[in-house]
Amino acid sequence: MGPETEDLRPPLCLPSPRRATLLVGLLCTLFALTGSAASWASPPPSSPTTDGDWELPTQTGTPEVLRPFSAPPAPWAAGHRGVDLGAGSAGASIRAPASGTVSFTGTVVDREVLSIDHGAGYVSSFEPIASELEDGEAVSAGEVIAELDSYEEGSSHCEEPCVHWGVRHHGEYINPLLLLGDLEPSILLPLNEGR
């Protein structure tokens, strides 16, 4: 075939039936994975049922939210899995936001962490803190559970003293402020078709 010879192939080459079936299968798998990823980023129920009223873990008034909750797009992705609350000063009292049982106290990487199992699938965690509580101890809502501490090298979690408060519901991180009733969830309403 020389340069003057016409190309007799059709302009669009369709895949064989076997390749088409494989392609459809791959597309279905991709859509299924995309749907799963979207569910990871979706917020938990906005009005969780708990055994009691939740309160702020800080000692004075309504603290400033220095860094808000930011759900990661997938479980392994970057995000901010809690809120950073201004705590006043180093050594400030940290209180249990609801009754529960201490489920973990110890060092994680370079900071002391305390976790409380509140039942009904809710677990709160606080860092950096210093606490004398031990695993298995019961705590009441509002009880002092720790003092605000710093990282091993002396720095704080934020530019000013703050406590990081994270809450998991059945293993998934949620915005702790939703438990206080301070935030209203977004509600999508149907379009009015009569307009």
Question: What's the rounded Cα separation, in Å, for the pair 28 and 167?
Answer: 34
Note whether residue 108 is domain-resident: yes
139 touches 159 (CB < 8 A): no
The count of structural domains within the chain is 1
Q: For residue range 61-118, what is the model confidence (pLDDT) as tens digits?
A: 788 999 999 998 888 899 999 999 998 888 999 999 999 999 999 999 888 999 999 9
Note whether residue 160 is domain-resident: yes
Distance of CA 36 to the CA centre of its chain: 16
Q: Band of the pLDDT at 38, cuts 50, 70, 90?
A: very low
Task: Give pTM, 2 decimals.
Answer: 0.67
Note whether residue 54 is domain-resident: no
For residues 143 and 41, the model is more confident at 143
Note whether residue 41 is domain-resident: no
Q: Band of the pLDDT at 50, cuts 50, 70, 90?
A: very low
Q: Count H helices, E strands: the chain?
A: 1, 11
CATH code of the domain containing 147: 2.70.70.10
Question: What's the rounded Cα separation, in Å, for the pair 99 and 189?
Answer: 36
Note whether residue 111 is domain-resident: yes
Note whether residue 56 is domain-resident: no
Which of 21-30, 50-59, 170-179, 182-191 has the largest mean confidence? Answer: 170-179
- The Cα angle at residue 148 between residues 64 and 96, in degrees rounded to 5: 80
